[in-house]
Amino acid sequence: MTNSRNNKSLRSYKGIVPELKNDVYVDQDCVLVGDITLDDDSSIWPLVAARGDVNRIYIGKRSNIQDGTVLHVTRKSPSLPEGHPLIIGDDVTVGHKAMLHGCKVGNRILVGMGAIILDGAILEDDVILGAGSLVPPGKVLKSGYLYVGSPAKQARPLTEAELAFLPQSADNYVRLKNEYLLESQ
């Protein structure tokens, strides 16, 4: 089941409407515009604003975008033929009030509350980005580390417990969105 009872949250841009795959939860108090794909078991929480207007947004399986987050992209141009789409992998938790703009986020990532990730930045798989951190344009965060600060710097390798927590965090939100989906039936 997919929560699409609230079509006011899903808005067309140039005839393109967000695409919801299987068992997706979209809160009634968010706005998703244009070329956005939400893959299976993903969830979008209150006050998220996502605009796939000048490029595309993809949110992977079992990923969750928490309250107040802003998602946007960079348009294609002669100097940047592909622009910067926003690509979010599988099992990603994006904390409250984060801002992701034209970046690539790998699999099993935790983006801390209030973090900002800018154009062309890449977070490889298995990364924790601390709350309030700033990832500058084009920066690559290597797999297996905690990054903190403004600008974000590699703090230390992730522990085995932290690596195990990354998919568990995503799974916690899959269970929560399933409860919300049951409530909306």
Q: What is the CATH number of the domain that holds 39?
A: 2.160.10.10
SS3 letters across the chain: CCCCCCHHHEECECCECCEECCCCEECCCCEEEEEEEECCCCEECCCCEEEEEEEEEEECCCCEECCCCEEECECCECCECCCECEEECCCCEECCCCEEECCEECCCEEECCCCEECCCCEECCCEEECCCCEECCCCEECCCEEEECCCCEEEEECCHHHHHHHHHHHHHHHHHHHHHHHHCC
Into how many domains does the chain fold? 1
pLDDT(49) > 60:
yes
The fraction of the chain above a pLDDT of 90, given in percent, is 95
pLDDT(93) > 60:
yes
- The pLDDT of residue 185 is 81
Q: Rounded mean pLDDT of the chain? A: 96
Q: What is the pTM of this model?
A: 0.96
- The pLDDT of residue 4 is 53
- The pLDDT of residue 184 is 85
Domain containing residue 153:
7-183
Is 1 contained in some domain?
A: no
